[in-house]
Structure formats: structure tokens, C-alpha cells
Chains A and B, each alone.
Chain A
Amino acid sequence: MDGASMDRVRDVTLWVNGERVSRRVAVRTHLVDFLRVELELTGSHLGCEQGVCGACTVRVDGVAVRGCLMLAVQADGARVETIEGLSDSGAIADLQAAFHARNALQCGYCTPGMLVSAAELLAANPAPTRDEIRAHISGNYCRCTGYHAIVDAIETTAAARRGEGGAA
């Protein structure tokens, strides 16, 4: 483990969107670069690479994390879900439909991260107030919408899941 043996690559095995993935990665590679470059899952975006903008938010072992603030090697053995997997499984289809109907996205760059954050809120709090929604997504930067439509879409989804009013 010392000297020359301290190599700068490592073999990792993880489950990404339910698929087992084994790769050799440079240890300095963060999770989102790994997902985007190595696995070609380009739905997770990079907006700052310092953990502020939230565009890289993905799910690791069931919780939302900043993909740029986690090394790919740290995800060894983990279950990672990206927007591609969450879309294909239909897990957040109602939320996506609400975003679509309400035009809660414009350029779409923040959207995958925003959806992961919103989904986590809805799982923990089935009846969030608008202020709670705003607080929960306060780490996800959106330059286009002004947030109002996003708050509407999340609120609508929560109401629909509670059986109040139809899904958007």
C-alpha cells in the first residue's frame, strides 16, 4: 500500500440504474464525470463542480447527493440512480408529467437534479407547503423559470399523490 503500489486508479463495482457496472476509474474522477463520460449517462449535468448549483444531484443508496462532491471510488458497492433510470422505471413519471404540463422547465439543464431533489421531498413529506418546497429545492439553481412553476408542479404532484385533484 505504499510507494509505487499507491496507484491512482481503482476497480469499482456498483449498481447504476439497477445494472451492475464494473470499471477501473481514476480515483480523482468524481461520480458525475464517471456517469457522464464512462457510462454515457449524460442526463446528470455539471454546473459548477463545487456543490453549489445542484445540477449534478443524483441518488446514491436512496438519498439525493451532489454527484460532483463524491468520488466515483466512494460509490464502490453503492446503488446509484440517475435521471435516466428514474425515467425508465416510471418512478417519477407523475412528477415529470406535472413539470411538463406546468412548463416547470425551460432550458432543461437544472431539471434532472431538480427532479431528484423534488422526489426526495415528496417521499419524506407528502403534504409540503409552498415554503417547504421552496426551502427544499433552495440548493438547486434554475436561471430560467423563476421557480414559481417548479413549486406549482411539485405542489400539484403532492396533491395528486394524496388523491386531491387529478395529476397534472
Chain B
Amino acid sequence: MTGGDRQVFNNRTINKNAAPLNGDRARIQGEDTRKVKAPDFAYERPESLDQVFDLLERHGDEARILAGGQSLLATLNMRLSSPGLLVDIGRVPGLAGVARAGQTIRIGAMTRHCDLAAAPPVQAHLPLLARAVPHIAHPAIRNRGTIGGSVALADPAAELPACCLAMGATMVLASRGGERRVAAADFFQGLFRTVLEPHELLAAIEVPVPPAGSVAGFDELARRHGDYAIVGLAAQGVPAGAGWQGLALAFFGADDRPVLATAAAAVLAEGGGIAAAQAALDRDLDPPGDLNGDPATKRHLARVLLGRVVGAMAEGR
């Protein structure tokens, strides 16, 4: 599934036109210049998963899934992407909604951000998501954008992929042959890359109900409200004396994918304290620079966020 929440045109993609200065002649095609009217494509609006799989199997790489469209349509308008076919899954039944089944909360991929934060199971059990959603772009985007789109796009600076990582979520990938389940930690493969195969659809995200006593922490540093964060942290764990149980620290905006800071989490788990965890963070993160900050700035801000978020969690805030 593609799509997502915001724009993907910062320096990760902006330099499409930049060519190294080689002093030689170059032949440029006009298509190398960016525009704002989408290229031509075909469109299908299947009404069942079977129809989705038909289309995906028939068109392979040429087909793109249209979920909330809040990133995909922008990339199409800018001609950064030119799929042959859009498969609009907006009217496939059963893909939206949040429900609890035993110790698992299943979030349909087409659940829109605005509905996600308000869903009773999320309110009751997944405070991390409830806290994260208001940071995603702006209300009009949250009215359309979906969790599945965001997760499948795998923007490393997005909130929800990191939340999935912190919550130990499982991605449910559906295809003609049935479903396979992939842990969030294995799902994200790099910049806009996941383990999704062209014939597969991200159908749902399954999140374990956190154990009793679990607390969530979330914060991000964005230049402007709703912007992608310079760096952000989604965290969840159970306080245990001076330490933590099952503490997960998922940073976003700090690498080519959301990253679990395992070294820092281990220090905290053993009651090592925030300063030691901040020091350990250097082993977890090796952020590339971008327009928002160079590697040193990102590393520094990640340490600051770690202190703030874990500090607040420890105080029960």
C-alpha cells in the first residue's frame, strides 16, 4: 500500500534534477523537470479484496495502491511518480476500523487518522497512538490520511511507523494466498522501502494490548506545527523500580527508517538512568543529515528528546 500523510519532497527526493557536474554533454528529457499536473494513469476502484488481488497480479509494479492519497497524490501532481494504474481501495469493505480481539487490537489499514485517535480501543489501550496523531500534518490531511498508507509509505520521518515499532505491532499483509504477518521491526527496510511485495496489500496492523502499568511517551521536534519532525520519539514500557520492563524507544527522522534504540533502552531497563541512556544512544543512531539538521544536530536533539520523553514517562506524565 502506498500513500501516507504528508509530503515526501524534502531533500530526499528534491534533487531529482540535480546531475553531477561532469563537464560533458547531457541529454535531458523534459520529463526530468517537475510539474504539478499529474501524468496520465488509469484508475480502478475494486469493491472486494479479490478484485484488488486481480489487479495487483495483472499489473505488478505498474499498479499503485491509493489509500488516503495524502502523499501519493502529491507525488503524482509533481510527477515524481508515474504509475500506470491506481487501485483505489477506498471502497473495499472491511479495511477500516479498530477492534479489540483478546489481547490484540486490530487496526484496519484504511482507518483514517482522525478516526484512529478517536477510536475507543485506541483511547482505552493505545495512548501512544492517541498522542501521536495530533502531530501528523494538519486536520484536513488527517481527515483523509490512513494508518495503512502512512505505514506502507515508510517515510522515515513519519510518526505512525515509529509508533508501530514502539508498540511491537505486526503488519498483516494480504494476498491471494492469504495473510502473512510481519513484525514492524522487520517490515521497514529503508527509505520508502518495506517488505511488501507488489502482489500484496497491507490490510491491517495488529497491536498487542500493552501490559498493565504500561506508559507511553511521545514527542517530536518540528520546525512548524504539523511539519515532519527533525527528530521524534515514540516510546512505551512498564516502569519497574528504577528501571523498565519491555521498554521500546522508537526514533523517527533519525535514519532511513524508524529505529529502535535498543542500547539506550537496555541501559534504562536496568535502571541506568537517563544520562547513561543518552550516552548509549550514540550506538543506536547514526542519523544522516538533511535540510532540517546535520547528523550532530539530530543526534543531540535525539538525546534531548530521550531525556524529556522518558523523564515524563517516569513521572507518569
A/B: CB atoms within 8 Å of each other: yes
Q: Assuming A50-B78, A68-B77, A70-B73, is B85 touching A6 (CB within 8 A)?
A: yes
Is A1 a contact of B44 with CB atoms below 8 Å?
yes
- Contact bitstring B61-84, A, C-beta under 8 A = 1, else 0: 000001001100110111000000
B46 nearest CB across to chain A (Å): 9
Number of residues of chain B lying within 8 A (CB) of chain A: 38
Q: How many A-B residue pairs have CB under 8 A?
A: 106
Contact residues, A11-50 vs B (CB, 8 A): 26-28, 30, 33, 48-50
A25 nearest CB across to chain B (Å): 10
Q: Assuming A49-B77, A50-B78, A138-B224, is B140 touching A117 (CB within 8 A)?
A: yes
Contact residues, B34-75 vs A (CB, 8 A): 36-45, 55, 58, 66, 69-70, 73-74
Task: Determine the distance from Cα of A54 to Cα of B69 in the docked complex, in whole angstroms.
Answer: 16
Contact residues, A105-154 vs B (CB, 8 A): 117, 120-121, 134-136, 138-140
A87 nearest CB across to chain B (Å): 19
Is A64 a contact of B140 with CB atoms below 8 Å?
yes
Is B43 a contact of A139 with CB atoms below 8 Å?
no
Q: How large is the interface on A (under 10, 10 to 19, 20 to 34, 35 or more residues)?
A: 35 or more
Is B226 a contact of A139 with CB atoms below 8 Å?
yes
B242 nearest CB across to chain A (Å): 36
Is B114 a contact of A63 with CB atoms below 8 Å?
yes
Contact residues, B129-144 vs A (CB, 8 A): 137-141, 143-144
A64 nearest CB across to chain B (Å): 5
Is A51 a contact of B141 with CB atoms below 8 Å?
yes
B228 nearest CB across to chain A (Å): 11
Is A135 a contact of B77 with CB atoms below 8 Å?
no
Is B141 a contact of A66 with CB atoms below 8 Å?
yes
Q: Assuming A65-B144, A74-B69, A117-B139, is B38 touching A30 (CB within 8 A)?
A: yes
- Contact bitstring B150-189, A, C-beta under 8 A = 1, else 0: 0000000000000000000000000000000000000000
A83 nearest CB across to chain B (Å): 14
Task: Determine the distance from Cα of A68 to Cα of B226 in the docked complex, in whole angstroms.
Answer: 18
Q: Which 9 A-B pairs have the closest CB atoms?
A: A139-B138, A27-B43, A49-B36, A50-B74, A6-B42, A28-B38, A138-B225, A63-B143, A64-B140
Give me 6 other A-B pairs in contact (C-beta within 8 A), A51-B6, A71-B43, A117-B139 excluded. Answer: A6-B85, A26-B40, A28-B40, A30-B77, A49-B77, A65-B140
